[in-house]
Copies of this chain bind each other. A is one copy, B any other.
Amino acid sequence: MGATRVTETLVLSLLLLLSGSSATQRKKTRAAPRMPCKQMVFYFHDILYNGENAKNATSAIVGAPAWGNRTILAGQNHFGNVVVFDDPITLDNNLLSIPVGRAQGFYLYDRKDYFTAWLGFSFFFNSTLHRGSITFAGADPLNKTRDISVIGGTGDFFMARGIATLMTEAVEGDVYFRLQVYIKLFECW
């Protein structure tokens, strides 16, 4: 009888230990096998400076290879061009919709024989919808859809990690493109 009492106490302690730890400590929510703990879809719109659109441009060539310049994207699939951007983020695919944030950072074209890019940028939000940032980095093979990494976040997206699936929705010459960004977070705090 005493022995069972002891085991009961032990079991209860264990239960308390287990439940207690989750009560006092806000753990990361880890999703089931590759089920995101948070999903969001946004669009952003890039208007590249081409010497004539200073007013509307949201991005500019700031690096170029020896054979290029900073007004026109270089030959050889723009290899070596570095572009800095501050693009409006919208909830739908309309450039004229009210922006809910800004996509800020850079992309660079890194391949001679066809288009590929590398991206480092953040979504920056400062509205009632979201406050904080999500930071992305990774290779962009410029396929129809492709994944890059969510490497961190602040504010509402504190410590976020995950994947973003990019899809180029529209391209107009070398001046305008629109990306759909489907964000899937797998670590949410």
| Residues of A that sit less than 8 Å from B by CB | 1, 3-8, 10-11, 14-15, 17-18, 24-28, 30, 32-34, 49, 51, 54, 57, 60-67, 69-71, 79-82, 84-86, 102, 104-106, 108-112, 116, 118, 120-122, 124, 126, 132-133, 135, 137-139, 141, 147-155, 158-159, 161-163, 186-187, 189
Contacts and interface: CB of A to CB of B under 8 A. Distances in A.
Given A10-B11, A148-B154, A151-B149, A86 B110 contact: yes
A34 B133 CA distance: 17
Contact of A62 (B80, B151, B158): B80
Nearest to A3: B4
Contact of A152 (B81, B108, B137): B137
B3 A6 contact: no
17 contacts: A3-B4, A3-B8, A10-B11, A24-B32, A49-B66, A54-B67, A62-B64, A63-B84, A86-B111, A105-B108, A105-B118, A118-B121, A122-B138, A133-B138, A133-B139, A133-B147, A137-B152
